[in-house]
């Protein structure tokens, strides 16, 4: 991938797999790359689920406040892994036209999927944030996930943050596909990603020695330990 002034990676990790022990270790690597934001007025925003485990370490290492940017894929009824769109914490909806054409979904099913996902996002916002108002986004926002595959969900999060008043979103992800990096870079101030990989086959999990999904209870526990 050609160098870009807004993309920061670790060349020694380029195109390598199993470079992080777990999400906590990845958070520490990101913290070293983002030292300039230590004890600044920046805020760390985590994308649940996996992004919370990375972001909590990053926020603690940099002495920054932590919050969550709840986003959820809109999935067809027969497959909960593949999304044809996403809904953000503020109600922002973006549909993936390429996937819609592939799934051949009718308008009724699409609208059902959107409404179901909006309800899921609202429930998760209450679970993870309680009734607290949204924070002041007029500051640098370090948006954190545990990896960037297609990048579609993250782009919806970025759109929602911009709508909420953020003028400076910095994407911080331990691993990403280089094509996804290129799709996102025009929408953020910078991207910090130690492990950028290319190739036809890419999975976020391949960057980690230890990988598992986090459930909602674990996310609540991490946030409570951080005194969110």
Domain assignment present for residue 193? The answer is yes
What are the pLDDT digits (tens) for 5-55? 899 999 999 999 999 999 999 999 999 999 999 999 999 999 999 999 999
How much is the mean pLDDT over the chain? Answer: 93
Domain assignment present for residue 111? The answer is no
Domain assignment present for residue 140? The answer is yes
Q: Is the pLDDT of residue 2 over 60?
A: no
What are the pLDDT digits (tens) for 137-185? 999 999 999 999 989 999 999 999 999 999 999 999 999 999 999 999 9
Domain assignment present for residue 113? The answer is no
Domain assignment present for residue 95? The answer is no
Share above pLDDT 90 across residues of the chain, in percent, rounded to a whole number: 80
Domain assignment present for residue 114? The answer is no
Domain assignment present for residue 110? The answer is no
Domain assignment present for residue 108? The answer is no
SS3 for the chain is: CCCCCCEECCHHHCCCCCCECCHHHHHHHHHHHCHHHCCCCCEEEECCCHHHHHHHHHHHHHCCCEEECCEEEECCCCCCCCCCEEEECCCCEEECHHHHHHHCCCHHHHHHHHHHHHHHHHHHHHHHHCCCCCCCCCCCEEEECCCECCCHHHHHHHHHHHHCCCCCEEEECCEEEHHHHHHHHHHCCEEECCEEECCCCCCHHHHECCCCCCCHHHHHHHHHHCCC
Domain hosting 140: range is: 7-70+136-225
Note the pTM of the prediction, 2 decimals: 0.94
Q: How many domains are there within the chain?
A: 1
The CATH number assigned to the domain holding 21 equals 3.40.50.2020
């Amino acid at each position: 991938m050609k160098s870009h002034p807004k993309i920061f990676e670790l060349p020694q990790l380029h195109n390598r797999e199993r470079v992080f022990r777990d999400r906590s270790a990845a958070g520490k690597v990101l913290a070293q790359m983002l030292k300039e934001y230590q004890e600044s007025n920046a805020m760390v925003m985590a994308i649940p689920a996996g992004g919370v485990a990375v972001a909590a370490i990053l926020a603690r290492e940099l002495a920054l406040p932590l919050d969550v940017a709840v986003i959820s894929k809109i999935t067809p009824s027969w497959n909960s892994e593949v999304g044809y769109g996403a809904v953000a914490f503020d109600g922002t909806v973006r549909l993936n036209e390429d996937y819609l054409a592939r799934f051949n979904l009718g308008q009724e099913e699409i609208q059902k999927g959107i409404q179901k996902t909006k309800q899921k996002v609202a429930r998760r916002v209450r679970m993870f944030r309680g009734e607290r108002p949204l924070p002041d986004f007029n500051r640098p926002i370090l948006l954190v996930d545990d990896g960037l595959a297609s990048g579609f969900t993250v782009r919806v999060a970025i759109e929602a943050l911009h709508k909420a008043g953020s003028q400076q979103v910095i994407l911080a992800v331990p691993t990403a596909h280089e094509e996804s990096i290129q799709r996102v870079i025009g929408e953020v101030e910078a991207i910090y990603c130690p492990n950028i990989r290319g190739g036809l086959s890419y999975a976020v999990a391949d960057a980690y020695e230890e990988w598992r999904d986090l459930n909602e209870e674990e996310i609540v526990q991490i946030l409570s330990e951080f005194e969110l």
